[in-house]
Every structure is written in C-alpha cells, then in structure tokens.
C-alpha cells in the first residue's frame, strides 16, 4: 500500500513526502500540510484483504466515528490527531487515514535497544518518563477511551530543548478505542 514516490497528494490538503514505518494496522509517512508545507505524520490504515468489500463502508464508518472521538483528546503527552478521513489510494481502493502532529525524537523501544547493556534507569527517571503517559491515559480513560496499544514503540522520547515544563515523552499511534461492553467490530480487541 506504499505510495510509489513522494509528492503525491492526499485529500488535496496533504502531500506525502516519505515512508517512515509500517505496523500491523497501518503505514506511516512523513507529509506536509498544504499550502504551508508544515510537517505532519500521515497514517494510512491497512485494508484487510479477507474483509468482504461490501462491509468496507461499515468499517470506514466505524473508523470515522472512532477517529472523531480520538481527535477530541487533548493532553500535552498525546500526539494530536489533526485530521482524518477516507480517501482513494493510488491502487484505487478507499482507505482510512489519520494526520497527526509531526514529532521528532526516538521511541522508547529504540532507546531500550540502545541501552541494552547499560545499567537500568534510576526509579526517579522512570517516574519522570512515565508520569505524563499515565496522566494522559487517565484523562483518556476518564472520557471512556482506552489506547489498547501502549508499548515502547508507541512512546516517543522528546529531545529536551530546555525548561522543566516540557513533556519528556509523547503517546503515539491511534490504538484508541471507545470503552464498551459490546463486542461489536468497533470494540473487539485488535
């Protein structure tokens, strides 16, 4: 599902620059908000090839509903969802997408890999890193939303430019789902 080359538009508002990463549910690109060229992260959700094409409009509807909920989450430790939609991809199929603020840094997973042979972090350092994440998750849970994909690869360690008020880590990805007792497609694990 990757774009063949950079510079392709998405929904006439964004331009795809380069491939960043691919996960189980989507492909992330660095892109730009047009016409200002502001950097953004664009996540295009993967289509399930086993899914009956007649069910795709229902899946897209669930996606749009959940994206609207997640876009309302505002916390300094959560990367903001700026936009979302369903648009035709270069292969001609419609696919859901999300646009996030672009954040620079390295993931906690990369950091842990690099520190493999180093002594573990001091407890105060772990607390400093995780406190904003826990506060962000508590805020989301208070609104009935669970992330459901918290892992080191979805936590971005920020390069600190100075000042103690800066959040040292941000929660990435939109693994968020509305909490529900239902087992509908929108609330099943995965």
| Annotated catalytic residue within 91, 101, 149, 165 | 149
Annotation says 101 is catalytic: no
Sorted by sequence, the CB contacts under 8 Å of residue 18 that are 6+ apart come out as 6, 29, 30
| Nearest-angstrom CA–CA distance, 170 and 41 | 14
Nearest to 76 by CA among 101, 109, 99, 107: 101
Nearest to 156 by CA among 19, 17, 20, 9: 20
Q: Which residues of 160-177 are buried (b: 16+ CB within 10 A; e: fewer)?
A: eeeeeeebbbbbbbbbbb
Residue 107 CA to its chain's centroid (Å) = 13
Q: Annotated active-site positions, please?
A: 149
């Amino acid at each position: 599902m990757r774009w063949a080359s950079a510079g392709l538009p998405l929904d006439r508002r964004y331009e795809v620059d380069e491939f960043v990463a691919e996960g189980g549910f989507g492909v992330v690109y660095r892109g730009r908000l047009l016409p200002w060229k502001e950097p953004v992260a664009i996540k295009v959700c993967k289509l399930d090839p086993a899914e009956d094409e007649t069910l795709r409009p229902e899946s897209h509807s669930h996606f749009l509903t959940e994206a609207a909920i997640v876009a309302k989450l505002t916390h300094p430790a959560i990367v903001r969802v700026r936009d979302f939609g369903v648009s035709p991809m270069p292969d001609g199929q419609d696919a859901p997408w999300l646009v996030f603020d672009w954040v620079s840094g390295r993931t906690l997973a990369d950091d842990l890999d690099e520190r493999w042979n180093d002594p573990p972090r001091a407890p105060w350092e772990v607390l400093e890193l995780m406190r904003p994440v826990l506060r962000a998750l508590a805020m989301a849970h208070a609104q009935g939303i669970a992330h459901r994909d918290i892992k080191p690869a979805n936590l971005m360690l920020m390069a600190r430019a100075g000042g103690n008020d800066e959040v040292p880590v941000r929660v990435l990805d939109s693994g968020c789902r509305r909490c529900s007792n239902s087992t509908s497609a929108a609330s099943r694990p995965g």
